[in-house]
């Protein structure tokens, strides 16, 4: 037993140093050197102060802002500490109630809008933290936002187009619009009072 104890302790100490010190330091150094923005949380700053991240959605419910996807995190929306989907299946009545509630809120905020509601405005993402919406979801909300801010529809449409990111590497994913970045651009164009 004595012959085994020393090699076990040496191996334990070596693996602790390698996996607990050396590996994290090397990965952090590479991340800071190659991808500093992403390694530091992809933060968005306004007036030198962090106001959010491009990776985590935020709650917007005023008519003058674009609304993101529903958040499935509890007890607070967009809580990064409790990321996860709702796990509600298509036949679950709770999902139908959630969708009906969001449809009602969208129609109440813009009763004149008779266009079909994009699915990403009435469902949550797998993480419950999705910061992006589809260009169709942004276009659906454009008239409401323009009216609430006293802007021309063309101005809001131009902002949506400017903030639409294409597919990654030209083939991965779908075009998307970051809600926080778009709302900050709106505030720069014409702040809400």
pTM: 0.80
What is the tens place of the pLDDT at every residue in 14-70? Answer: 999 999 999 999 999 999 999 998 888 888 888 888 888 888 888 888 999 999 988
User: Partners of 44 in the beta sheet?
Assistant: 52
What are the distances in angstroms from CA 91 to CA 95, 96, 97, 101, 124?
8, 8, 11, 16, 16
What is the tens place of the pLDDT at every residue in 149-159? Answer: 999 999 999 99
The 3-state DSSP composition of the chain as helix, strand, coil percent (nearest 5) reads 50, 10, 40
């Amino acid at each position: 037993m004595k012959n085994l104890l020393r090699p076990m302790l040496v191996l334990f100490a070596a693996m602790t140093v390698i996996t607990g010190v050396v590996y994290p330091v090397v990965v952090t150094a590479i991340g800071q050197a190659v991808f500093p923005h992403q390694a530091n949380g992809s933060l968005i700053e306004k007036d030198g102060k962090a106001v959010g991240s491009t990776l985590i959605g935020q709650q917007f419910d005023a008519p003058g802002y674009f609304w993101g996807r529903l958040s499935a995190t509890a007890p607070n929306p967009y809580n990064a500490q409790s990321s996860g989907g709702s796990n509600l299946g298509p036949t679950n009545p709770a999902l139908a109630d959630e969708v009906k509630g969001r449809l009602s809120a969208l129609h109440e905020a813009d009763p004149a809008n008779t266009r079909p509601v994009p699915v990403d405005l009435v469902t949550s993402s797998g993480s419950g933290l999705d910061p992006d919406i589809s260009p169709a979801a942004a276009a659906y909300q454009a008239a409401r936002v323009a009216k609430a801010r006293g802007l021309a529809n063309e101005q809001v449409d131009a902002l949506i187009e400017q903030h639409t990111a294409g597919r990654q590497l030209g083939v991965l994913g779908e075009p998307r619009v970051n809600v926080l970045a778009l709302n900050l651009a709106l505030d720069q164009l014409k702040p809400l009072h």
